[in-house]
Structure 1
């Protein structure tokens, strides 16, 4: 598959590695895009055991992220980040393709 330039920030890699380490049956964070949400599409985050044959695997500092080919189309050029501030902790996708997003941080439109 062609390189779509999805990246993983240092803080996201550290958080993914910590979360996966707490569940010995899981080895990666799966990020997918689904229809729905406030703005038309939403990101879904799950722990997974292994990549599917057609997944793109992104690795950094011991962390592994799995993205399916359909979700990858919507995430081209994105950065997966982890935010820890006074408002709380969450994974966030900085997506240059999103023309609108929602206050929840997981919903967007293209």
Structure 2
């Protein structure tokens, strides 16, 4: 089965650190999804959860990843990365297959 998302090494490392430091149970997986809409489109979300009916399960870098079946098409080609700087730190979603728009 085709894995809809990529997770960078930095993001995988941070996710595994969170799972350890927050004592996330071993039977939980990383859930990747979307939160709807309005004018702004969709927001991408990460969390830890157990598998539910209708989920698709993938393995990315040895990490179990859950995606609701209805979210797969929105996540196709997405990359999850982790950035840390003096100003901010957090997970960043991007789609390397779609060129960035630079509106004036």
TM-score between the two structures when normalised by the length of structure 1: 0.70
How does 1:52-63 map onto structure 2 within 5 Å? 52-53=52-53, 54-60=55-61, 62-63=62-63
Give the aligned length.
97
Alpha-carbon offset, residue 79 of structure 1: 0.8
Moved over 6 A (4+): none
Q: What RMSD, in angstroms, separates the aligned Cα atoms of the two structures?
A: 2.6
Runs of 5+ unmatched residues, structure 1: 101-110
Give the match for residue 45 of structure 2: 44
Give the match for residue 64 of structure 2: 64
Q: Which has the higher helix share?
A: 2
Give the match for residue 18 of structure 2: 19
Give the match for residue 103 of structure 1: none
1:84 aligns with 2:61: no
TM-score between the two structures when normalised by the length of structure 2: 0.73
